[in-house]
Amino acid sequence: MRVIGKGAAAKVFLSRKKGSDQLYAIKAQKRSRATSGKALKQMLVEPAILKQLGTEQTNADGKLQPRNPFVVKLRWVFSDEAHLFFALDFHPGGDLGTMLSRRGSLHPGLTRFYAMELVAALTALHARGVVHRDLKPENVLIDEEGHIVLTDFGLAKAFSRIPSHADEEVPRTMSFCGTAEYVSPEVLASLPHSFPVDMWSLGVMVYEMLVGVSPFMAKTTPEMYHRILRDKVIFPEYKRVPQKAKDFIRELLQKNPVHRLSRFNIKEHSYFSNLNWTFADEKRYTPPYVPRLDNSATVDTQNFEQVFLDMEPILIG
């Protein structure tokens, strides 16, 4: 058992099922973090949403939708007096955040592939009425073959009423959430928010993959917030960013959520011209990058951060 990751809410352990070779990622959360009944309920939202996305269901358009192939699979939920545990399929490629911190930025072709799979994942998520609300590179895993896998639905929200066309009023929520760099202007301004917050975060992520830094980088968090609310997106001259990618990013980083690309039009954007979305939605495009894995090692953790691997696999702290 080893520590492979740690976020704001949880510690994630790599463990092997007793009497087998099967590896799982166990996400452990302290129950004491939930100080009220409401907070404990929010902790249970994550497994509930994962379960829902892991089964086929009729979506807002009345179409039967298969299980979302880009969402991490939840196997079991269990608990002891102090903790809540989720057993998830383990993805050995690490997360996109670790990849970006090691490489700086990504090749335009690889970025477009990840953007394509993120769009396939998000449009399917939104069609089911689920907003992720914490999209960032650390929450995007890379599987063995190089496809993306969305994880960390700890801040996600499922709406029971899903708009079926672009002009319909969308259900919205008020709670502040997300991570500083990826948070949208409407959340910062404490306005009601909905599906477009994920599209904003996608814009920040695609910019970061191509340029190597976030578009609203600043020395302090208040300065960053100020830039998110006011500044136009600028692309540095030293980086070659394809024009269609710039247009795509600008249409995601619209301050007004109404003007942002949405699940109704994002797949038609010229950044994705010549792309077969049926193929993309079914994970049939071959990933341009396959994570390096050492098949001779029984447990390969080279794609995870050393600081986590060095941690003692204990539950305190």
Ligand X SMILES: Nc1ncnc2c1ncn2[C@@H]1O[C@H](COP(=O)(O)OP(=O)(O)O)[C@@H](O)[C@H]1O
Residue from the set 111, 139, 184, 194 that interacts with Mg ion by CB under 5 A: 139
Cβ nearer to ligand X, comparing 101 with 265: 101
- Round to whole Å and give the CA distance between 159 and 176: 17
Does residue 127 belong to the site contacting ligand X (CB under 6 A)?
A: no
CB under 5 to 8 A by kind: which of Mg ion, ligand X, none does 141 bind?
Answer: ligand X
Residue from the set 25, 99, 120, 183 that interacts with ligand X by CB under 6 A: 25
The window from 7-15, 186-194, 197-205, 249-257 that contacts ligand X (CB under 6 A) reads 7-15
Q: What is the DSSP letter of 138?
A: G
Shortest Cβ distance from residue 266 to ligand X (Å)?
A: 24
Does residue 7 belong to the site contacting Mg ion (CB under 5 A)?
A: yes
Does residue 291 belong to the site contacting ligand X (CB under 6 A)?
A: no
* Active-site residue flag, 152: no
Q: Which residue is nearest to ligand X (CB)?
A: 7
**Coil, strand, or helix at residue 140?**
strand
- Round to whole Å and give the CA distance between 176 and 143: 31
Shortest Cβ distance from residue 177 to ligand X (Å)?
A: 12
Q: Which two tokens stand for residue 32?
A: 């004491």
Half-sphere exposure of 274 (CA within 13 A, CB side): 3
Strand ranges for 38-166 from DSSP E? 57-58, 64-65, 74-79, 83-89, 130-131, 140-142, 148-150, 157-158
Q: Which position has the token pair 């998520």?
A: 125
List the x/- string, 60-99, binding to ligand X by CB under 6 A.
------------x---------------xxxx---x----
Q: Which two tokens stand for residue 255?
A: 């301050």
Q: Which two tokens stand for residue 46?
A: 């994550």
CB under 5 to 8 A by kind: which of ligand X, Mg ion, none does 27 bind?
Answer: ligand X
Residue from the set 43, 126, 138, 253 that interacts with ligand X by CB under 6 A: 138
How many residues sit close enough to Mg ion to count as binding (CB under 5 A)? 3
Cβ nearer to ligand X, comparing 95 with 245: 95
**Coil, strand, or helix at residue 189?**
coil
Cβ nearer to ligand X, comparing 89 with 251: 89
- Round to whole Å and give the CA distance between 269 and 311: 44
Residue 235 makes CB contacts below 8 A (sequence gap 6+) with 211, 241, 246
Q: Which residue is nearest to Mg ion (CB)?
A: 7
Residue from the set 111, 121, 130, 152 that interacts with ligand X by CB under 6 A: 152
The window from 48-56, 121-129, 135-143, 273-281 that contacts Mg ion (CB under 5 A) reads 135-143
**Coil, strand, or helix at residue 11?**
strand
The catalytic position among 61, 80, 134, 300 is 134
Strand ranges for 168-282 from DSSP E? none
DSSP secondary structure string, 12-43?
EEEEE-TTS--EEEEEEEEGGG--SHHHHHHH
Binding site for ligand X (CB under 6 A): 4-5, 7-10, 12, 25, 27, 72, 88-91, 95, 138-139, 141, 151-152, 154
Binding site for Mg ion (CB under 5 A): 7, 139, 152
Active site residues: 134
